[in-house]
Amino acid sequence: MANVITKKIYYHDTDAGGVVYYANYLKFFEEGRTQYLEEKGIYTEKLLDENIAFVVAKAEIEYKKPVRYKDVVDVITDVEQIGNSSIVFVQRVIKNNIVCCKGKITIVCVNTQLKPIRIPDAVRNLIMEEINE
| DSSP letters for 14-70 | B-TTSBB-TTHHHHHHHHHHHHHHHHTT--HHHHHHTT-EEEEEEEEEEE-S--BTT
- Minimum CB separation of residue 133 from a second copy in Å reads 25
Binding to a second copy by residue 62, rule CB under 8 A? yes
Task: Count residues near a second copy (CB under 8 A).
Answer: 36
Look up 15 and say whether it is catalytic: yes
Residue from 24, 74, 120, 130 binding a second copy (CB under 8 A):
24
Residue from 1, 4, 22, 98 binding a second copy (CB under 8 A):
22
Residues tagged active-site = 15
